Amino acid sequence: MLPPSIEQKTFLILLVGVTLAFGWLLLPYYGALFWAVVLAVVFGPVQRRLMLRMGGRGNMSALLTLVICLLVAVLPVIVITGMLVQEGSSIYERLESGELDIGMSVARMKDMLPPSLQRLLDSVGMGNFDDLRERIASAALAASQFLATKAFDIGQGTFHFVVGFFVMLYLLFFFLRDGPELTRKLRMAIPLGATEKRRLQIKFTRVVRATVKGNIVVAIIQGAVGGLIFLLLGIPSPLLWGVLMAFLSLLPAVGSSIVWAPIAAYLLLSGSIWRGLALVLCGIFVIGLVDNVLRPLLIGKDTKMPDYLVLISTLGGLTVFGLNGFVIGPLIAALFIATWDLYTSDKVTINLP
């Protein structure tokens, strides 16, 4: 018979190996698994309230919550993505045909500047807009080409997308229905004291909800408000600009102003004074205030992070995980802070064999 220490080490090696192998199997659908967990955490309170009203019918309450989640969170994203791809294809065709000349627009914008400002730019070596014009034009062409080719990519990867989508829905149903039991089993598997495990679970739940509510929801509202303002002002491609503002609003400090400020400047310089002023006022007092007013209301007392950490984690998440990194990056950073805060505030008790 082997000594207990060897048995424990062998079992731990087996446990780690099997876990890594299982993670490797799930890797192709990590996005589906991740979003199923996130949506289960966000919509979990809705399912629990429905279950209480239905007399403890877990299957029916989970199914109804799944339908609500589809209508509120999933289907709008799919519809907007399809519309965005179509709009990107249209812009790409206009750029390719020469109907839309970004470089010429930049050149005209320089010509519209006051002579004193043009001389000032020349004196500091920024008067030559040719290089900037070429870069902006090539960037616009590359961006529109990316959106246009996404239509082909989606068509090519339809099977993988459909399978991943239904895997997410399937997992979400069981995460909603069996969430408390799965959470209890996961807590039992973590080698920490009962108090630390409970605190870590609470922090994880708060971080997920704060990330989704405080970042994603605010970004969607800012993008929708910005796109509506662009539509009312008669600015072309309001959907595209709205989506860009939604993405860029996740970046602190500058956010959506990267989009509306240059367009407002162009309108003012081109003679559309009232439209330019309206866009500036709406950008400052409507789009900008959405973040300052809604974010504290949605997050409440949930975990907050410094702006610089949000910026770094968002950019890092995008680089490593793609579009999912908008959520995964800040989530990892917030959990990093929460875990170290838990460690420094009260030494964690680790119950290893």
Q: What pLDDT digit, counting tens, does each position of 101-111 carry? A: 555 665 666 66
Q: Assess if residue 1 is contained within a domain.
A: no
pLDDT tens-place string over residues 226-252? 889 998 988 887 888 888 888 777 776
Structure tokens at 269: 């310089």
Q: Are residues 230 and 173 in the same domain?
A: no
Q: Assess if residue 330 is contained within a domain.
A: yes
Which comes out higher in pLDDT, residue 233 or 57? 233
Q: Assess if residue 319 is contained within a domain.
A: yes
Q: Assess if residue 316 is contained within a domain.
A: yes
Q: Which of 156, 171, 189 is the last residue of a domain?
A: 189
Q: Assess if residue 25 is contained within a domain.
A: no
- Of 65-74, 102-111, 251-260, least confident by mean pLDDT is 102-111
Q: Are residues 150 and 224 in the same domain?
A: no
Q: Are residues 139 and 253 in the same domain?
A: no
Q: Are residues 198 and 49 in the same domain?
A: no
- For 352, other C-beta atoms within 10 Å of its C-beta total 7
- For 55, other C-beta atoms within 10 Å of its C-beta total 8
Contact indicator for 48, 62 with CB cutoff of 8 Å: no
With b for 16 or more beta-carbon neighbours within 10 A and e for fewer, the 31-50 pattern comes to bbbbbbbbbbbbbbebbbeb
The residues near 30 (Cβ < 8 Å, ≥ 6 apart) are none
Q: Are residues 98 and 210 in the same domain?
A: no
Pairwise CA distance, residues 340 & 331, whole Å: 14
Share of the chain above pLDDT 70, in %: 71
3-state secondary structure of 192: strand
- Phi, psi (deg, nearest 5) at residue 305: -130, 155
Q: Are residues 111 and 210 in the same domain?
A: no
Q: Which of 166, 189, 212 is the last residue of a domain?
A: 189
Q: Are residues 53 and 136 in the same domain?
A: yes
Pairwise CA distance, residues 316 & 326, whole Å: 9
Q: Are residues 169 and 275 in the same domain?
A: no
Q: Are residues 317 and 212 in the same domain?
A: yes
The residues near 161 (Cβ < 8 Å, ≥ 6 apart) are 154
Q: Which of 155, 172, 189 is the last residue of a domain?
A: 189
Pairwise CA distance, residues 176 & 47, whole Å: 7
Which comes out higher in pLDDT, residue 261 or 83? 261
Q: Assess if residue 222 is contained within a domain.
A: yes
Q: Assess if residue 320 is contained within a domain.
A: yes
Paired residues of 192 in beta bridges: 350
pLDDT tens-place string over residues 127-158? 555 555 566 556 555 655 555 555 555 554 56
Residue 262 sits in which domain range? Answer: 193-346
Q: Are residues 52 and 121 in the same domain?
A: yes
Helices (H), 27-74: 30-53, 58-69
Q: Assess if residue 24 is contained within a domain.
A: no
- For 126, other C-beta atoms within 10 Å of its C-beta total 11
DSSP string of 5-35, one letter each residue: HHHHHHHHHHHHHHHHHHHHHHGGGHHHHHH
The residues near 173 (Cβ < 8 Å, ≥ 6 apart) are 62, 63, 66
Total domain count for the chain? 2
Pairwise CA distance, residues 122 & 105, whole Å: 19
Q: Are residues 122 and 79 in the same domain?
A: yes
Q: Are residues 219 and 158 in the same domain?
A: no
- Residue 292: exposure state from Cβ atoms within 10 A (0-12, 13-18, ≥19): exposed
